Amino acid sequence: MAKGQYLSHYQQGIVKRFYEHRSTVLVGKLAELVTELYLAASEKDRARHWKAARETLRKAGVPDADADPLCEQRRLEDLAGVVAALQRPAPRAGQSPRAGQSPSGGQGQPGTSQSGGPGRRSARSAPDADDF
């Protein structure tokens, strides 16, 4: 920071949250760029959006070795795939899915429990339409 610059506790919190959520904002921007590229009418617009996509990929932490070929080939499907991969939550360190759980953390089929089999609901599951 510049010499003599003081941020209040409230302002420090704002700056801290900005940097905590920066990756989320960048992934959202990339998703918007995919849409803009799909809808771009002229080659000039497409070139501008691909340039912005390259810069945003770099800011999001994608290595240049991956970002440059992706943007040079100009394949929208590949860019959308990278955005989808960035939107997936990263697994927590030291944790792996337990047996019977999907990687997203769910517990398999709705309306079933691990020990009770079909028809036996856990305390957290919502009722099905058949129950009414």
pLDDT at position 87, please?
87
Question: Per-residue pLDDT for 60 more than 50?
Answer: yes
Burial of 91 (0-12, 13-18, 19+ CB in 10 A): exposed
- In 1-132 the beta strands, taken as DSSP E runs, fall at 112-113, 117-118
In this structure, are residues 81 and 74 in contact, taking their beta carbons and an 8 Å threshold? no
> Can you tell me whether residue 112 is helix, strand or coil?
strand
Q: Are 92 and 104 in contact (CB under 8 A)?
A: no
Residue pLDDT, tens place only, 67-88? 999 999 999 999 999 999 888 8
- Predicted TM-score of the model (pTM): 0.60
Q: How far is 24 from 30, CA to CA, in rounded Å? A: 10
pLDDT tens readout for residues 9-52: 999 999 999 999 998 999 999 999 999 999 999 999 999 999 99
